[in-house]
């Protein structure tokens, strides 16, 4: 189970990416995403899916947990497993198009979530910081890919995932 309580949209992405359930109980969780402290995190898988998570915190967590990075950081205390080009039908476009957003926190005003899906807007001018130094997507970039705002950066199986998800056909 994925713990939710630190970074909700990042946790939702991992929930659907890993096909797991969410829990509010740290004791039930096996996966923690972008933690903000070390309390009660022991014997877990910690996933870092955005840039800038405190490296000192991650170093301390690596002593008793497995750390997996979705984005490449300068200093890493675990394994690097970027997002794969994966179709996730539970992350869908809401039908809303935003011209731009300033960052992650602004997107939280626009999502609709249930246990079976999350619905998010397309963003026509996404923020620049959605990829790591190697061009792999962070969780916001992965959301934008799933909603059809951007294409997968490293040669996608799907040239436009929006076409696949909505069944649009262009002539």
Encode pLDDT of 38-97 as tens digits: 989 999 999 999 999 999 999 999 999 999 999 999 999 999 999 998 889 999 989 899
Q: Is the pLDDT of residue 156 over 80?
A: no
pTM, full prediction: 0.89
Q: How many domains does the chain contain in total?
A: 2
For residues 7 and 70, membership in a common domain is answered with yes
Residue 86 lies in a domain: no
HSE at residue 41, side-chain half, CA atoms within 13 A, is 27
- pLDDT tier at 124 (50, 70, 90 boundaries)? confident
For residues 53 and 115, membership in a common domain is answered with no
> What does the pLDDT read at residue 163?
62
Average pLDDT, integer, range 143-161: 75
For Cα atoms 121, 122, 128, give the angle at the middle one, nearest 5 degrees.
115
Average pLDDT, integer, range 5-34: 95
Which of 47, 80, 113 is the endpoint of a domain?
Answer: 80
For residues 14 and 66, membership in a common domain is answered with yes
Dihedral, 28, 34, 35, 41 alpha carbons, nearest 10: 40
Dihedral, 129, 131, 34, 16 alpha carbons, nearest 10: 120
Residue 156 has φ and ψ, to the nearest 5°, of: -75, 150
**Alpha-carbon span 13 to 103, nearest angstrom:** 16
For residues 132 and 74, membership in a common domain is answered with no
Residue 170 lies in a domain: no
Cβ-contact 49, 81 below 8 angstroms: no
> What does the pLDDT read at residue 159?
57
Range 158-164 contact pairs with CB under 8 angstroms and sequence separation of 24 or more? 158/85, 158/87, 161/87, 162/93, 162/122, 164/87
> What does the pLDDT read at residue 171?
43
Which of 18, 48, 80 is the endpoint of a domain?
Answer: 80
Q: Is the pLDDT of residue 155 over 70?
A: no
> What does the pLDDT read at residue 22?
96
Query: How far is the CA of 9 from the CAs of 6, 69, 118, 167, in angstroms?
Result: 9, 17, 9, 26
Host domain of residue 24 = 2-80
For residues 6 and 32, membership in a common domain is answered with yes
Which of 51, 80, 109 is the endpoint of a domain?
Answer: 80
Query: 95: which DSSP letter?
Result: E
């Amino acid at each position: 189970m994925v713990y939710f309580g630190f970074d909700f949209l990042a946790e939702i992405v991992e929930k659907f990416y890993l096909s797991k359930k969410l829990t509010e109980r740290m004791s039930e969780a096996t996966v923690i995403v972008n933690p903000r402290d070390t309390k009660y995190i022991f014997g877990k898988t910690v996933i870092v899916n955005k840039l800038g998570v405190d490296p000192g915190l991650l170093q301390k967590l690596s002593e008793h947990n497995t750390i997996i990075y979705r984005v490449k950081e300068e200093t890493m205390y675990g394994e690097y497993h970027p997002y794969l080009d994966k179709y996730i039908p539970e992350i869908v476009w809401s039908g809303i198009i935003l011209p731009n957003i300033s960052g992650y926190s602004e997107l939280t005003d626009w999502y609709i979530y249930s246990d079976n899906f999350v619905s998010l807007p397309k963003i026509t001018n996404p923020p620049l910081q959605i990829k790591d130094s190697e061009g792999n997507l962070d969780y916001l970039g992965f959301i934008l890919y799933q909603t059809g705002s951007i294409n997968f950066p490293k040669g996608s199986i799907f040239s436009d995932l929006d076409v696949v998800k909505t069944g649009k056909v262009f002539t």
